[in-house]
Structure 1
Amino acid sequence: MSKSTATIDIAHGWVSQPQGRGTFDIILSCLTTTFLCSWSALCLNVPEPGTTRWGFLRYKLRWQLFTVFFPEMIMAMAAEQWESANQSVAAFAKLGHTGWTMRHAFFADMGGFLLAAPDFPPFPVDGQQIAYLVEHEYLPLPSVTEAGIRDKNKADGFARCLTLVQIFWFSIQCIGRAVQRLGLTTFELSTIAFVLCTLHTFFFWAQKPLDVQTPIVLPTTHRIRDVLIKAGPPAERSYSRTPLDFLKPSSDPKSMTAPFWFGLGTIFDVGKESPTRPIRTFGNNKTFPPAGLSWLQSAYGILFVLAFIGIHLIGWNFVFPTPVERILWRIAALALQGLILVYLVALPTAPFICRRLAWLMYGKKVSTALEFAALLPRWAKLAMAIPVALTYTLARAYIILEGFISLRALPAVLFTSVSWSQFIPHL
């Protein structure tokens, strides 16, 4: 695939499939795999109360489109939610409540429980907050069973099985083409990267309920005012989401999703929750593990993203319709890798630098780079966020777009089907 187009037989335009696979086969295989993965793996939090059936469908379709562009961010969200659920189960186990399972924890963190106090509008409580309320006897342990949560789960087992079958068949096809040196298109290469994200997301969200639309109300006779008074100074600060914000720590400096959402929120107001206070449900991007992330987990996340982006580097010497497109593909892949390297440099250095700057500029103490960024004026936030977001978005958009436009002129060998008879002796 590294030869020039002058020495390779190029098939131009639409290729039919009677004697091999055609353009339609490539498009159908990649689009089917991408659609099934982005739809069946997406486990969203409980939507705003009053959301209609069609409203929920639009809500999920928007997130599906986001998943197509940024599957690695969805995987990172799922991983952080999974770790948060693990820590929630551990917290309840310390209280002697071993019946609190991962499904309970996921259900709580996705806004599945609403606390109804006599002096306050109902608001969602996550697993950490429920553990606090149970420990201090403001609330009995929720009596909902794991079976009850399963009953709210709208998971379509057939759709997920169909997705796994499609992933298996698509992967076998790609492996077969690699073994027989038939090559892959850039469209298929991008789909392989998407499949990698989907398999991880399936694992992390395996026990998270799917498409839950109605929460469970937890009534309490205790007033929120009394809870805050007894909590002392930590609860005296004004809240930004719910009165129990004092129990929710800030995002971990090692989080890979927090900088992403901060940048998008600064530029486009993307990912922001309802302006109503207290909020009525948790945003999909707001679940952070209470005890933070370990360095091992952070290292795994970095290696995963490097692998995800590195898959696109396999296309470095692919034959493209024009030399300009090949150069742009290389630039896009290198730009994505470069942003990860910048993150690696900033991870250990940014907190130290930002702590000093916050004290010198504002006389305030901060613990993370994002806390310092929140102090800056909007123009300064935009100056930091726009170059990174623009580079990342343009690089991802070009990689997706090139998968389609490169189909107009491909090496003829890419339309040769795998000869499965050659594998029979090995099978």
Structure 2
Amino acid sequence: MGGFAFDLEETYLSESNFFTTKHARLTVTPRGMALLAKCGYLPRISKEDILDKSKADNLSKMLSILQALWMLAQIVGRLIIGLSVTLLEVNTLAHVICALIIYVLWWYKPKLINEPTILRGEWVPPIAAYMYMSSQISGWRSLHPGILKKTWIDPECSILEFKPPTAEDHNLDTQDSAQRSPPAANKITSVVSSRVSSTASVPRLRSLTKRGSFTTRPLPALTIKDEGAETTLAHVNSRLEASRELQETRWALAAEAMTLHPAIASRVKSHEIIEGDKKATWLEPITEELVDDSIGNWATENLLRDMSGFVMGMVVWSASMAYGGVHATAWRGYFPSRAESILWRVSSLFIAGSGLTWILINMLARTFKGFKAYWKNVASLRAHWTNLVGLGSLATICGLLYLSARIYLVIEAFISLRKLPASAFGTLQWTQLVPHL
């Protein structure tokens, strides 16, 4: 929800580690918070602080729930005593059930967080630099745009490799730390605005380099299909931030985070590359959305991996199944015409079936790595063109049918009011259900 952030201006003033001119604040995503927890930097937030950010009181929530339950009770009562339930009431009931589930899940959920909790500490600059480089906020438009938003932009780490420290580097670093005098006046200075300036000492950057370093990936790993090596190198150079000093500071800070924190050091993929008769290994940093400009209340790709891939899919499409199932309860209800009855039944089944289909797809992606890799290639438009055309056409047709089914259910709920059975005008008498009333 955007409840935690790095205030870069504050960080620069206190730590003198300025690594970008593009943003003054970085909002931590759920994936970023999970990484901070693994690194031992999860902030301590009291229950009172969380409740203080809740803008809706329990009384208003309870009144809304009572209204929804009263609607549900009215429909159940009418069915028990044999009164007709209109299609508009069935449509309303589907939304009522969704509202009840949302209120239960969001009872303690804060909202409209205008002032996030600022994360502070000496650990912030390296972690913030790494999370920035791993996220799309640091990147540029992808040369391989795909279907999903996450394939539109490549983060800075997408052109870098990480070189871990060697045993020799560790020994040199230990000797250098024992003999090093206080930092001298030899510093790299970059004035970044009228308010903030940053200095980074050369000895410190050299020390960080001994711990590990970021460099551009080997040329064969950067070469893009149908593009020459020179064009690729031009793309690489154009993607780097204009200030070389900021880039060096950012890469050094991110390398420090990679070296000092095992949870971050493990976020790499090993690759082999052959150049002539030589075989070399290089480490590709795993990129994820760890920070962003801002985060809204709507679910996005910034959610945790398991949440966005499986659990969220189960929840959303289970809701779709429930929505179609509720409308299917009017299977033998009264319709002005047979055609409207058939269309209602088909629309209800199609909506519920779509939910079941996507749940099965999520389960397959969760269970089988091969299916997940295939789906990823399709989403990034890297699969064979026949697969893209076939699946694209099927998805387009199914999407239009799903949209049409949802629209029809709403329209039919209203136009069916033109002709209703006499029992639809009957009034529910609760004494028929509860005799002592």
What's the TM-score bracket when you normalise by the shorter of the two chains?
0.5 to 0.7
What's the % identity of the aligned pairs? Answer: 27
8 Å contact 2:94–2:323 — kept in the other structure?
A: yes
Aligned to 2:327: 312
- Report the Cα offset of residue 184 of structure 1: 0.5
Alignment of 1:220-235 (within 5 A): 220-222=121-123, 224=125, 226-227=126-127
- Report the Cα offset of residue 143 of structure 1: 5.3
Alignment of 1:204-223 (within 5 A): 204-222=105-123
- Find the partner of 1:151 among 46, 52, 57: 52
Aligned residues: 274
Aligned to 2:135: 239
C-alpha offsets along residues 113-154 of structure 1, whole Å, 9 cap, x if unaligned? Answer: 1112433531111455345436646x5x53543222322221
Alignment of 1:11-26 (within 5 A): none
Aligned to 2:5: 114
Q: Does 1:199 align with 2:100?
A: yes
Q: Secondary structure at the match of 1:321?
A: coil
Distance verdict in 2 for CA 1:163–1:142, change over 3 Å: same
Aligned to 1:337: 352
Aligned to 1:179: 80
Aligned to 1:247: none
Structure 1: gaps (5+ residues): 1-109, 244-261, 267-276, 357-365
- Report the Cα offset of residue 394 of structure 1: 1.1
Aligned to 2:378: 372
8 Å contact 2:55–2:112 — kept in the other structure?
A: yes
CA–CA distance in structure 2, aligned partners of residues 420 and 263 of structure 1? 54
- Find the partner of 1:279 among 292, 314, 318: 292
8 Å contact 2:4–2:117 — kept in the other structure?
A: yes
- Report the Cα offset of residue 424 of structure 1: 3.4
CA–CA distance in structure 2, aligned partners of residues 289 and 278 of structure 1? 12
Q: Secondary structure at the match of 2:427?
A: coil
> Which amino acid in the other structure matches residue 49 of structure 2?
G
Q: Does 1:417 align with 2:427?
A: yes
C-alpha offsets along residues 327-385 of structure 1, whole Å, 9 cap, x if unaligned? Answer: 221221122133234335544556799947xxxxxxxxx64624532234897475353
Q: Secondary structure at the match of 2:334?
A: coil
CA–CA distance in structure 2, aligned partners of residues 236 and 212 of structure 1? 22
CA–CA distance in structure 1, aligned partners of residues 33 and 309 of structure 2? 24
Over the residues paired in the alignment, what is the CA RMSD in angstroms? 4.0
> Which amino acid in the other structure matches residue 373 of structure 1?
A
8 Å contact 2:310–2:363 — kept in the other structure?
A: no
Distance verdict in 2 for CA 1:165–1:341, change over 3 Å: closer
- Report the Cα offset of residue 188 of structure 1: 0.7
Alignment of 1:244-255 (within 5 A): none
Q: Secondary structure at the match of 1:111?
A: coil
CA–CA distance in structure 2, aligned partners of residues 354 and 388 of structure 1? 25
Q: Secondary structure at the match of 2:331?
A: helix
Structure 2: gaps (5+ residues): 13-17, 140-145, 151-289
Aligned to 2:418: 408
8 Å contact 1:123–1:242 — kept in the other structure?
A: no
Name the larger-Rg structure.
Answer: 2
Aligned to 1:391: 401
C-alpha offsets along residues 57-88 of structure 1, whole Å, 9 cap, x if unaligned? Answer: xxxxxxxxxxxxxxxxxxxxxxxxxxxxxxxx
Give the TM-score taking structure 1 as reference length.
0.54
Distance verdict in 2 for CA 1:172–1:292, change over 3 Å: closer
C-alpha offsets along residues 219-259 of structure 1, whole Å, 9 cap, x if unaligned? Answer: 344464x3378x7xxx797532479xxxxxxxxxxxxxxxx
CA–CA distance in structure 1, aligned partners of residues 324 and 116 of structure 2? 38
Aligned to 1:161: 62
8 Å contact 1:263–1:386 — kept in the other structure?
A: no
- Report the Cα offset of residue 388 of structure 1: 2.5
Distance verdict in 2 for CA 1:396–1:204, change over 3 Å: same
- Report the Cα offset of residue 202 of structure 1: 1.5
Distance verdict in 2 for CA 1:242–1:203, change over 3 Å: farther
Aligned to 2:89: 188
8 Å contact 1:333–1:395 — kept in the other structure?
A: yes
CA–CA distance in structure 1, aligned partners of residues 29 and 292 of structure 2? 13
Distance verdict in 2 for CA 1:265–1:406, change over 3 Å: farther
C-alpha offsets along residues 192-235 of structure 1, whole Å, 9 cap, x if unaligned? Answer: 111221221112212211333332332344464x3378x7xxx7
8 Å contact 2:324–2:350 — kept in the other structure?
A: no
Q: Secondary structure at the match of 2:393?
A: helix
- Find the partner of 2:26 among 108, 113, 123: 123
> Which amino acid in the other structure matches residue 170 of structure 1?
M
Distance verdict in 2 for CA 1:237–1:222, change over 3 Å: closer
- The structure in which a higher percent of residues are strand is 2
8 Å contact 2:147–2:381 — kept in the other structure?
A: no
CA–CA distance in structure 1, aligned partners of residues 338 and 346 of structure 2? 12
Q: Secondary structure at the match of 2:43?
A: coil
